[in-house]
Amino acid sequence: MDQYTLNLLVVGASFALYIGIAIWSRAGSTAEFYAANRGVHPVLNGMATAADWMSAASFISMAGLIAGVGYANSTYLMGWTGGYVLLALLLAPYLRKFGKYTVPQFIGDRFYSQGARLVAVICLIIISVTYVIGQMTGAGVAFSRFLEVEVSTGLWIASAVVFAYAVLGGMKGITYTQVAQYVVLIIAYTIPAIFISMQLTGNPLPWLGLFSTHTESGLPLLQKLDQVVTDLGFNAYTAQGSMLNMTLFTLSLMIGTAGLPHVIIRFFTVPKVSDARWSAGWALVFIALLYLTAPAVGAMARLNIIDTIFPNGPKAEAVLYEERPDWMKTWEVTGLLKFEDKNGDGRIQYYNDKAAGFTAQATERGWAGNELSINNDILVLANPEIAQLPGWVIGLIAAGGLAAALSTAAGLLLAISSSISHDLIKDWLVPGISEKNELMVARVAMAGAILVATLLGLHPPGFAAQTVALAFGLAAASIFPVLMMGIFSKRINSAGATIGMLVGLIVTCLYLFTYLGWFFIAGTNMLENVPANYLFGIPPAAFGPIGALLNFAAAYIVSMMTAAPPAHVQELVESIRVPRGAGQATGH
Partner 1 sequence: MTDKSSNAYWAANIRVIYICLAIWAIVSYGFGILLRPMLSGIAVGGTDLGFWFAQQGSIVVFIALIFYYAMYMNKIDREFGVDEQ
Interacting residues with partner 1 (CB under 8 A): 71, 74, 77-78, 81-82, 84-85, 88-90, 93, 207, 210-213, 219-224, 238, 240, 243, 246-247, 250-251, 272-274, 277-278, 280-281, 284-285, 288, 291-292, 295, 574, 577-582
Q: Work out how close the CB of 38 gets to partner 1 at its nearest, in angstroms, rounded to a whole number.
A: 14
By C-beta, is 294 or 412 nearer to partner 1?
A: 294
DSSP states of 559-588 as a string? HHHSPPPPHHHHHHHHHHTS-TT-------
Say which amino acid occupies 364: E
In angstroms, the Cα distances linking 405 to 71, 257, 307, 459 are 26, 17, 30, 18
51, 402 Cβ separation under 8 angstroms: no
Nearer to partner 1, 82 or 140 (CB): 82
Compute the 3-state secondary structure of the chain and give helix, strand, coil in percent, each to the nearest 5. Answer: 75, 0, 25
Closer residue to partner 1, CB minimum distance, 83 or 261: 83
Whole-angstrom distance, CA of residue 222 vs CA of residue 237: 8
The radius of gyration of the chain's CA atoms, rounded to the nearest angstrom, is 24
Measured from the CB atom, is 274 or 437 closer to partner 1? Answer: 274
Distance from C-alpha of 520 to C-alpha of 524, rounded to nearest angstrom: 8
Q: How far is the CB of 356 from partner 1 (least distance, A)?
A: 25
CB of 244 to partner 1, least distance (A): 10
* Nearer of residues 285 and 440 to partner 1, judged by Cβ: 285
How many Å apart are CA 204 and CA 221, to the nearest integer? Answer: 14
Q: Measured from the CB of residue 224, what is the shortest distance to partner 1 in angstroms?
A: 8
Rounded to an integer, what distance in angstroms lies between the CA atom of residue 69 and that of residue 55?
Answer: 21
* CA gap 296, 72 in Å, rounded: 15
Q: Closest approach of Cβ 207 to partner 1, in Å?
A: 7
- To partner 1, the closest distance from the beta carbon of 67 in angstroms equals 12
Contact assessment for residue 413 and residue 450, using Cβ atoms and an 8 Å cutoff: yes
Rounded least distance, CB 541 to partner 1, Å? 16
- 241/391 with CB nearer partner 1: 241
Q: How many other CB atoms are found less than 10 A from the CB of residue 483?
A: 22
Nearest distance in Å: CB 537, partner 1: 16
**Strand partners for 75:** none
| Closer of 149 and 273 to partner 1 (Cβ) | 273
- Residue 222 CB, nearest distance to partner 1 (Å)? 4
Which one, 270 or 409, has the nearer CB to partner 1?
A: 270
CB-nearer residue toward partner 1: 286 or 331: 286
Query: Torsion-angle region of residue 565: left (phi > 0), alpha (psi -120 to 50) or beta?
Result: beta
Q: How would DSSP label each residue in 148-172?
A: T--HHHHHHHHHHHHHHHHHT-GGG
